[in-house]
Amino acid sequence: SGHDCGRFAGVAARGRARMIIGDEHAVGELWADLRERMPAPRDDRPGQPVFVIDEPPEPGNTGLRAATDDDYQLLVPACAAAHEEEIGIDPMARDAEGFRWRTRAQIEEGRSWIWRDAGTILFKAEASAWTPSAVQLQQVWVDPPVRNRRHAQRALRDLIRLLLERAPVVCLFVRPENAPAVRVYEAVGMRRQGAYRSLIF
């Protein structure tokens, strides 16, 4: 935010950004500098609550673990489905090779976690950002046939406990209209702190 927005706006415009996501106020300042140099976003999502947690919740007692290469073939369509549910774009239609590469990279870098029962994903999530201050999660997802059975709540508890051994804070953001997800995050003890804005092109 502030005076550096103009400088960064030039980089974003030249790079043809597909998404701009961040603190609601900072994204607003950046977009004010960008709007004349980029097409209008396909979707503008202000007011997305950010949830944070810095104390371990009660254990969920699940089979959650880091994803491995053995999970890759199962995770690609699951990650694509999660992306389409959240963003409204099928990443396999837009850039299948790039999406497969990204999914594999997340596994290889230790940023993907899964709880599965044979070919059914009971829970999965990835880390979209990891700094000394916090880990940000994305694409928290459960296979549709096994939703509404508290799998997400239980596995998220275990994932948060795991991550808080390596970072002081776990966070994520969510569309405010996604009431089931909001209920899960509140149930595991996450609290709202600030808001994000997403511009999707």
pLDDT tens per residue, range 131-145: 999 999 999 999 999
Domains and CATH numbers, the chain: 2-40 (no CATH), 52-195 (3.40.630.30)
Low-confidence stretches of the chain (pLDDT < 50) are 1-2
- The string of pLDDT tens digits covering residues 28-50 is 888 888 888 888 888 899 999 99
pTM of the model: 0.88
User: Are 155 and 115 spatial neighbours (Cβ–Cβ below 8 Å)?
Assistant: yes
- Residues in a beta bridge with 173: 50
pLDDT for 189 equals: 98
Rg (the chain; Cα; Å): 17
